[in-house]
Structure 1
Amino acid sequence: MSKVESVNKWDLNHIVFIGRTWDEYMRMFGLTKEDLVGRKILDCPAGACSFTAVSNQLGMDVTACDIAYYLPIKQLEQKGLQDIETTMSNMERADIQKNFLWDYFKSVDELKQIRTQAMNQCISDMKRNKNRYIPAVLPTLPFDDKQFDLTLSANFLFLYEDKLDYEFHLQTIKELMRVTKDEIRIFPTTNFACERYKYLDELIRDIRNLGWITEEIKVPYEFQKNTNTMLKIMR
């Protein structure tokens, strides 16, 4: 079975192809433009986020990586539109909305518009610059040691603590460390229940034992309640 067939058969239903915007990334990771200029940056897993597209338009050097990129672009686009509709339908429920702060996004309609915009920017850039969008299955990446100065990882690790065990988290972070020269930023540090990842202290200890420095940092972005911290990992 080819990799594309494997992803189609086993993973498509588990991939939620919804993206965040460039501005959201800047807030989620506490970034400034100066943090990005002149650095090679990896976004992993990048999903349907527009960070790579917009950053490269601004003259920066960003590569996106995700298991979803094994799939045909047209299929990803259809999947993304479907996922946005499903997610926004769920967001209309009062018991769901109460778990979110509605200041950055003023309404579900605005959220839908921005999520659609992010995905459209991603898909458009993917069609023009396919070489920026690298397929991979974590915890293995097809990059050289220290290929990137900065790696960003959003809305994957820690969130899925009920599906991804501790060993997967550790091996994934070790792989991100292998391909990263200076620093890694992971957002958020909580699971879908808005609770701090239960093995985070153990993980931080293991990371520090590998010679890296860690810091939990509050960031100027909080959409889901209590989801406003990132883990910064530095050599």
Structure 2
Amino acid sequence: MFNLTKEELIGRDVLDCPAGACSFTANANQYNISATATDIAYYHQVDDLELKGFQDIEHTMQSMEHAANNYNWDFFKNIDGLKRVRTRALTECVSDMKKFGASRYVPSILPQLPFQNKQFDVTLSAHFLFTYADRLDYNFHIQTMKELFRVTREEIRIFPTVDMECKRYEHMDTLLEWVISQGWAAVEIQVPYEFQKTANTMLKLTIK
């Protein structure tokens, strides 16, 4: 979804924000990628997160039964395939959290992050900002972007650029003008990953 290979990230400091129950940090660190995950969920105990994670997977799969036509199944093949991938990701995430704790999994509540200025080369943000545009107002987007700018040295990638109804973020053009005014270049890029139909574009921001 971010149109990246692991070779492009090796040796770099990468922030996954917000990360949720994702296995990216666990897997990335095995390839000499210094990955850190942050999420509001990490304020809870690992065992509680694991239980909640499995409950969420079951709930999501039941919902998928009624909305399967809204998704492309080229990658996951079917709902059972999606469940296997999500379950593996949760299991790998929880295992890594138990080993490394807060050194890799840092609790935070956006739009504030507990990191130093320019701490990360790359920040990746999936299924949050534009996805929940109906719940996160424009000011929240601005404040969050300012914080991502603060902690990132080189580039930020945000996926997707559409909301839950597959509509492009309504304030995107205004937001991009603001991004450019902050000294960052911005481009919307189509990526090869498309699970939610038409949700196949990301926003790539690079420091000028």
TM-score, normalisation: structure 2: 0.98
Name the CA distance, whole Å, in 2 between partners of 1:89 and 1:67.
25
Unaligned ranges ≥5, structure 1: 1-27
Asked whether 1:109 is paired with 2:80, we answer yes
How many residue pairs get aligned? The number is 206
* 1:139-173 deviation per Cα after TM superposition (whole angstroms, max 9, x unaligned): 00011110000000001010111110000011101
Q: Kindly provide the CA deviation profile for residues 189-231 of structure 1, in whole angstroms up to 9, marking residues without a partner as x.
A: 0000011011111110110011110010000100010000000
1:201 maps to 2:173: yes
Following the alignment from structure 2 to structure 1, what is the Cα–Cα distance between the partners of residues 6 and 42? 27
Distance 2:162 2:49 in 1: 27
Aligned residue for 1:119, secondary structure, equals: helix
- Whole-angstrom CA distance in 2 between matches of 1:162 and 1:32: 32
The answer for unaligned runs of 5 or more in structure 2 is none
Residue of structure 2 in register with 1:141 after alignment: 113
- Which of 49, 52, 63 aligns to 1:79? It is 52
1:126 matched residue in structure 2: 97
Which amino acid in the other structure matches residue 39 of structure 2?
D
Three-state SS of the structure 2 residue aligned to 1:92 is: helix
* Superposition misfits of 4+ residues, deviation over 6 angstroms: none
Corresponding letter in the other structure for 2:83: K
Residue 18 of structure 2 is aligned to residue 45 of structure 1? yes
Task: Name the Cα RMSD after superposition.
Answer: 0.6
TM-score (norm 1): 0.87
Cα shift readout 1:88-124 (whole Å, capped 9, x = no counterpart): 011112xx11110111111101100110000100000
* 1:234 alignment counterpart: 206
